[in-house]
Structure 1
Amino acid sequence: MNPLLDLLHPYPFERLRVLLEGARPPEGLRPLNLGIGEPQHPTPPVIADSLVQNLHLLGKYPPTAGTVELRSAISEWIGRRYAIPCPDPIDQVIPVAGTREALFALAQAVLDPAERAAVLLPNPFYQIYEGAALLAGAEPVYVPTPKEQGYLPDWGAVSAEIWPRVKLAFVCSPGNPTGAVMTLEDWKRVFELADRYGFVVAADECYSEIYNGDPPCGSLQASIALGRGLERVVSLNSLSKRSSAPGLRSGFAAGDADIIKPFLLYRTYHGAAPSSLTQVASVEAWQDETHVVENREKYREKFRIAAELFGPGLQIPSGGFFLWLPVPNDEQQARRLFEQAWVTTLPGTYLGREVNGKNPGQGYLRVALVPDLDVCREALIRIRETLETPTIG
């Protein structure tokens, strides 16, 4: 077996399962799961109808490079969304089977296994970043995202001897789990470092269409605004959150043609092309914004309810659909919420790594506001009431 597999950490939800073993929730309550960030709004008809009408495409192998129609639809969406020139649909855009798959695969294509490269990732983080780095033979370098910096990466915490070894940096905006959004100035700092040290920026932007204020500044948008073109940057996005279609497994990678081209070669062997049926439905989804606006408003209403229930002390994130809720002891409180309120949440500790004696995820619960409005309201009421009740013993 590949010895690098031994370096992988248990996934957060496996750790959560162990934490909740033996816990007995109260009778008379329905279970409410806000632990996993799986969008549960109904998938819009524009996608469902296309799938039904094109079932005959299951008899065809999908093109790894994607159909011209899909690559063009993605390119045009990027141009509309970020008010930039549309990327070349042939040289700068490829479809992928969701951002999770593509984030992992991109690291395998970009990193040279013969060198001990360093890979930057925010801490806390989406665990695929870490696994992608480890299985590419690289060293993950955990960059803290402290509250004092708006939960954005503190690049100054990376030691001087690390920077020359950095070959890839994962950047997530809006962030998982904190919902922090990068401004043009924040992107400028990232690209200055990328240009100085020559590393690739992998921008995980799957939450880009769920926001509470202005639309987040995107990586491609920022790179062009800064006058550097799309050099050494790849944006990864999907229909999972934007269109409430996580089971479709459809997204894109777009950016530097000198990265996209070899990445496509890798994917030819990787065999992860979205099905022909998925690709046709995805064209329809990227061309429609009505369902996206409706989807975003549903999340905004949930955050309005959270603000009403928890008061002004609750920090509402700029983007994404997670509450990053501060608590005295995240593991203890997660088990307590399950046992006393039958609400599942995820301890922030499981999303971070301890560096210099500190895990920046410790002391938070990640609460995924993905079920329908009534479920979220009931769950938030139970969470508030439970956390306000003093523990005994």
Structure 2
Amino acid sequence: MYNHQIDKLTDYPFKRLDALLSGINPPKDKVPIMMSIGEPQHPAPNIISKELNKNSNLWNRYPSARGTIEFRSSVKKWLLKRFDLNENFLSIEKNILPLAGSREGLYMSAQLTVSEKVIGKKPIVLIPNPFYQVYLGAAVLSNASVHMLNLNDNNNYQPEISALDRETLERTSTYFICNPSNPQGTVAPKEYLINIINLARRFNFTIISDECYSEIYTKTPPPSLLEAAHDIGEGLKNIMVFNSLSKRSSAPGLRSGFVAGDELLIEKFFKLRSHASAVQPLPLMAAATKLWEDEKHVIENRNLYKEKIFDAIRIINNKVKFKTPEGGFFLWLNVKDGSKVALDLWGKAGIKVLPGRFLCRQDENGLSPGDEYIRVALVNSKAQTIDAIKNITEILSISGNY
């Protein structure tokens, strides 16, 4: 016996990619390069090993689900400075909790925000399409109705939830947003964030804002949902913001993040997590605390991503259709047929990329907004990335997929 809601999930994108490429071997004269997964390969900061050694005496202690005062204080200090918030806008006791990476917190958030019934009907969870797969898993396993919001050039990859009909909004319990977006790299302007907060408060749903790419950007620092709420001036009601050190600090293996937001939701989330969640060990939390206090390594990390993005723009030189990402480290390339191109790149050059359709839910006709795209993660070294982008551009030009 098992929960049959699980059967409503597709396989995870990387398993689907393995199946697609099964039986195809990369050229023997090529060293395979993985550009399919957003796993940062930049060196992790030395702060981590230093703090782990310094706090090795804490391995024999159970951590609290609230984390340490030092961790929550460092997160608050970072948020206040980064988003220009007033000191009293956030409380380390009421508005912030640690996470073992933002992924598990995002998944559990739906268990918090999806109620059994909304206006007597099954609640709706709004999800952008394409999307981070955890959002769908969270919604489906919470037994919610999933409403996909297709993203494309026409809406600048921003979900148009204000255009939804009244009944859909009244039934909505949760709206997942990723800002900057994955995979397109667009940044939602503060005006958009203010509008969706006002809509959430009008119809009483929760916005779950995934901001894990907030510190990787090419020009202007992306705004946070917290910043928008601060400008409105009515507190943090109806919002939860998630961030982590995986992308910001090139530390995905540290499994450290936080959630900040609505006092009532944070307290209920603490209660839920006290029963169910894996809490980050204290030595790791000590290292995370120091990482949130340091910006030098973040600037170096961001500059390296910027260099690789601008290298890619120079090499591609308008030969492939795409928009320069405002945030994050992905290229979202329109290649007409993402699955076919993924096969070509692996078989001809040993370059593994992710077909866009694997990040989407298909409609009743089997179509999705990601069918024509591939996602390319610029996470490898500068030299590897330049070589790979040259090969991708050459193969696409020869095949006519541009």
Q: TM-score, normalised by structure 1?
A: 0.97
Equivalent position of 1:304 in the other structure:
310
Equivalent position of 2:134 in the other structure:
128
Equivalent position of 2:74 in the other structure:
73
Offset, 1:154 = 2.3
Equivalent position of 1:349 in the other structure:
357
**TM alignment of 1:17-96, pairs within 5 A:** 17-86=18-87, 87-96=90-99
Q: Distance in 2 between matches of 1:366 and 1:347?
A: 6
Q: Distance in 2 between matches of 1:271 and 1:61?
A: 13
Q: Distance in 2 between matches of 1:8 and 1:113?
A: 20
Contact 1:179–1:319 at 8 Å: present in 2 too? yes
Equivalent position of 1:322 in the other structure:
330
Q: Distance in 2 between matches of 1:163 and 1:378?
A: 47
Residue 362 in structure 1 maps to residue 363 in structure 2:
no
Offset, 1:158 = 3.3
Offset, 1:160 = 3.6
Residue 251 in structure 1 maps to residue 232 in structure 2:
no
CA RMSD, 1 decimal: 1.4
Q: Distance in 2 between matches of 1:341 and 1:85?
A: 52
**TM alignment of 1:167-316, pairs within 5 A:** 167-312=173-318, 314-316=322-324
Offset, 1:52 = 2.4
Q: Distance in 1 between matches of 2:166 and 2:369?
A: 22
Aligned AA (1:246): P
Residue 110 in structure 1 maps to residue 119 in structure 2:
no
Q: Distance in 1 between matches of 2:86 and 2:16?
A: 44
CA 1:76/1:159 → structure 2, altered by over 3 Å: closer, same or farther? same
Deviation digits for residues 35-61 of structure 1 (CA, Å, limit 9, x no counterpart): 000111111011221112222221111
Q: Distance in 1 between matches of 2:78 and 2:348?
A: 46
Deviation digits for residues 100-124 of structure 1 (CA, Å, limit 9, x no counterpart): 1000011112222456210001000
Secondary structure, in 3 states, of the residue corresponding to 2:59? Answer: helix
Unaligned stretches of 5+ in structure 1?
none
Contact 2:162–2:199 at 8 Å: present in 1 too? no
Deviation digits for residues 52-97 of structure 1 (CA, Å, limit 9, x no counterpart): 2222221111111100111111111100110002410010000001
Offset, 1:356 = 5.7
Q: What is the percentage of aligned positions where both structures have the same residue? A: 39
Number of residues paired by the alignment?
A: 392
Q: Distance in 2 between matches of 1:96 and 1:113?
A: 25
Deviation digits for residues 262-304 of structure 1 (CA, Å, limit 9, x no counterpart): 0000000013211111111111000000000000000000011
Aligned AA (1:369): L
Secondary structure, in 3 states, of the residue corresponding to 1:59? Answer: coil
Offset, 1:170 = 0.4
Equivalent position of 1:335 in the other structure:
343
Q: TM-score, normalised by structure 2?
A: 0.95
Q: Distance in 2 between matches of 1:253 and 1:208?
A: 14
Secondary structure, in 3 states, of the residue corresponding to 2:333? Answer: strand
Unaligned stretches of 5+ in structure 2?
none
**TM alignment of 1:136-147, pairs within 5 A:** 136-147=142-153
Equivalent position of 2:104 in the other structure:
101
